[in-house]
Amino acid sequence: MATAEDEIKKGLTFRTFKDGDYIRTRWQEAIFEADHSHKCPTYVHRTPPCQGSCPSGEDIRGWLQIVRGIEKPPADVSWQEYAFRRSTDANPFPSMMGRVCPAPCEDGCNRNNVEDFVGINAVEQFIGDTAFKEGFKFEAPPPLSGKRIGIIGGGPAGLAAAYQLRRLGHASTIIEMQPELGGMFRYGIPGYRTPRNYLDCEIQRIIELGDIEVRTNTRVGEDITIEELEKEFDAVLWAIGCQTGRPLPVPGNDAPNCVNGVKFLEAFNKGTLQTTAEKVVCVGGGDTSIDVVSVARRLGKIDQVHAKDRPEEVIGGYVAHDAAVAAAREGAHVTLTALFEREQMTATEHEVEDALQEGVTILNGVMPLEVILGEDGRAIGMKMAKCKVDDRGVPSPVEGSEFELEADLVVSAIGQGGDLTGIEELGNERHFIDADKHYQVPDRPGHFVAGDIIRPHLLTTAIGQASIAAESIDHYVMDKELSKRPKVDVHRFNLLSKLNESGLSPREYDHTQSWGTSDADFAVHNYEDRSAHEIVSSDKLFLAHFEYTPRHKREAKVPGPEEVLGHFEERHYGLTDEQAQQEADRCMSCGMCFECDNCMIFCPQDAVFRVKKDKSTTGRYVDTDYAKCVGCHICAEVCPSGYIDMGMGE
């Protein structure tokens, strides 16, 4: 969590010692006593916590460094396109994810210990939207391997897998049961949150890599069998997502106007649902429930509705509303109920705030007891009670706190499940598909799995799993042995690649014995890469270097209760080039040098020096003359990014 606003306004200062510890070793004593340790600085690359918190493992620090101007692009590439390339190495949907990802990276950001997190989502949206406007494309993929992979499901996981597989040299065929690709992006999230022109662009950019066949309106288990897939493809990836919603675990949940949130949003996104009911009650607390109530407020209700045009008939797929009914819309009363108090809701905080501004009523700390039925068997309300939630997350009603809510439409948004109709043999007892650490389906050679069908989670989680699954598939079809996944499993900065890109490749090592590498040009002197093993924490950073700098927030235009009816425009707008650069400049570059010169300025022995410009690149900005270094550790103390360890020597 970010630092509280009242603390921010005080103008925070920082020390390198904790409260209660007032004794600081004098620098002079440190210098003259330091030779007892025989330790000199070494430059250590670690993974920043933003990246460590990102389920798709994006090199967030890397593309922020590019946007702010620290890491320079190749001569023929703009910084905007270079940032796009770095961002999409892990995730090919910057425009989408910059809008809808709940941003666990921002929760992990070390800047929270200064004043407020870096607006990573906002900068990512800027990168994606700039790519859309400028027509950026992915770099040409390598030649084909001759292998073709069947990808079942064209949502975020399936598309990300096709992207990563093509970059590994493999063709693929995406088999999608819906009319269009996009999965949850298209059918599970309202278009005002995932604008379709940006979504279509990001999907098309993947298809344009070539040798990615698409078959829509095709359902495995109905139109094609598992056996046929195994004959046609060298491997199969199951990325079918979760298409069913969990019903309310209370009596009366089978009322015809008691529907699930997944189908509600799908009907809206397909354009068949044009209006809801006068009194809508949604049970949830997560992002899906917020989307349901926000859509319900926008759609509103109409006074006179024929029985066949009731919302549940449309959501069930039996009929479709005529768009003309929209002209008669009036505001609907929409209520969201949640087991947890607001601060414990899993929905993204700003989405909750937007829903409240749009006129949604949110009742926290309550649980459903029963769907109240009318004489015709339809729901007319919900019996609720205040509740307590135990350590296992199990709620229990508070005695004597029961109350009733009127409802014409009840929506359950309490979780999702897989639809394994026709492919039941793949499922477990929970109707999901099991996966090992390499995202292989156990005991099914050649079958792999990624995304919500393993366990419903975030879009970025599905994309990260798809990337690992693609690597596993590559090993399988090329008969390569799978190696152990790294402890910190992310798409990390690679110094050797950067040196190669900058024309600074080390010469080939001739394997002759030599003493030391400080003057050798076959090795990278005093650099250590621990990014696969360590995430740098804030206590390794010199926080006093960073001044209070307020976040540059995206402009938001959220409609109020009176304006929300029929309001389907995007709510959040992107940053300009200058704003994106200013926000990226707030990044503390945890675990990587950002060329502040502190170590060089404060070194009392002039032992730390800048690498010559024709030999310098990101990660190789400073070096140490060990003949001058006395091991005083001052450079490590004043390094803002925690890039220096006193590790060289005995």
Q: Tell me the pairing of strands 379-389 and 361-364.
A: unpaired
Backbone angles phi, psi at 229, to 5 degrees: -60, -45
H or E element in which residue 61 lies: helix 60-68
Cα-based torsion angle of the residue sequence 467, 468, 474, 480 in order, rounded to the nearest 10 degrees: 160
- The percentage of the chain sitting over the pLDDT mark of 90, rounded to a whole number, equals 80
Residues 91 and 497: their CA atoms lie apart, in Å, by: 19
Distance CA 531, CA 47 (A): 5
Residue located via tokens 């009731």: 310
Contact 163, 154 (CB under 8 A): no
Tell me the C-alpha distance between 186 and 39, whole Å.
Answer: 56
0.85 exceeded by pTM: yes
Enumerate the domain spans of the chain.
5-136+495-649, 148-243+418-477, 247-415
Alpha helices in 334-430 (DSSP H): 349-357
The answer to whether domain 148-243+418-477 has CATH 3.30.420.250 is no
User: Hey, is 384 helix, strand or coil?
Assistant: strand
Vertex 71: Cα angle to 67 and 74 (nearest 5) = 100
Could you tell me the sign of the dihedral formed by the alpha carbons of 167, 169, 171, 176, in that order?
negative
The answer to whether the 148-243+418-477 and 247-415 domains have the same CATH topology is yes
Question: What integer pLDDT is reported at residue 649 of this predicted model?
Answer: 64
Q: 378 vs 252, 256, 276, CA distance in Å?
A: 9, 6, 15
pLDDT band at 392 (very low <50, low <70, confident <90, very high): confident
Extended strands (E) in 111-246: 148-152, 171-175, 212-215, 235-238, 244-245
In percent, the amount of the chain with pLDDT more than 70 equals 93
Name the residue with higher pLDDT: 7 or 54.
Answer: 54
pLDDT digits (tens, 9 = 90+) for 622-631: 999 988 988 8
pLDDT tens for 22-66 read: 555 555 555 555 455 578 899 999 999 999 999 999 999 999 999
Q: Measure the CA–CA gap between 334 and 279, rounded to whole angstroms.
A: 6
Cα separation, 389 vs 162, in Å, equals 42
CB 338 within 8 A of CB 284: yes
Residue-wise DSSP of 570-615: -SB-PPPHHHHHHHHTT---TTS-----HHHHH-TTS-EEEPPGGG
DSSP for 62-99, please give it.
HHHHHHHTSSPPPTTS-HHHHHHHHHTTT-S-HHHHHH
* Beta-carbon contacts of residue 191 (< 8 Å; ≥ 6 apart): 269, 568
From CA 159, how far away is CA 498, in angstroms rounded?
Answer: 28
pLDDT digits (tens, 9 = 90+) for 284-331: 999 999 999 999 999 999 887 788 888 888 888 888 887 766 677 789
Burial class (CB in 10 A: 0-12, 13-18, 19+), 528: middle
Judge whether residue 14 has pLDDT over 80: no
Q: Which among 466-470, 494-498, 634-638 has the top mean pLDDT?
A: 466-470
Residue 1 has pLDDT above 50, yes or no: no
Query: Within a 13 Å sphere around the CA of 283, how many CA atoms are in the beta-carbon half?
Result: 30
| Res 9 pLDDT > 60 | no
The CA distances from residue 295 to 100, 267, 347, 568, in Å, are: 15, 11, 15, 9
pLDDT tens-digit profile of 532-558?
A: 999 999 999 999 999 999 999 999 889
Report, at the CATH architecture level, how domain 247-415 is classified: 3-Layer(bba) Sandwich (3.50)
- Residue 29 is predicted with a pLDDT of 58
Nearest to 83, CA basis, from 101, 64, 103: 64
What are the structure tokens assigned to 148, written together?
């073709």
Per-residue model confidence (pLDDT) at position 279: 96
CA dist., res. 222 & res. 549, Å (int):
57
| pLDDT per residue as tens digits for the range 592-607 | 999 999 999 999 999 9
Residue whose C-alpha is closest to residue 136's, from 186, 61, 73: 73
| DSSP per-residue letters across 508-525 | PP-----S-STT-SSS-T
pLDDT for the residue numbered 330 = 87
| Mean pLDDT, rounded, of the chain | 91
| Token pair recorded at residue 37 | 């340790």
| pLDDT score at 515 | 72
Q: Are strands 258-260 and 379-389 parallel, antiparallel or unpaired?
A: unpaired
Q: How confident is the model at residue 568 (pLDDT cuts 50, 70, 90)?
A: very high
Apex CA 536: angle with CA 532 and CA 539, to 5°?
160
In the block, tokens 């925070």 appear at 12
* Per-residue pLDDT band at 167 (split at 50, 70, 90): very high
Give me the phi and psi of 275, to 5 degrees please: -155, 155
Cross-strand partners of 334: 280
Cα radius of gyration rounded to whole Å, the chain = 28
Cβ–Cβ under 8 Å, residues 6 and 490? no
Q: State which amino acid sits at residue 613.
A: K
The yes-or-no verdict on residue 445 having pLDDT over 90 is yes
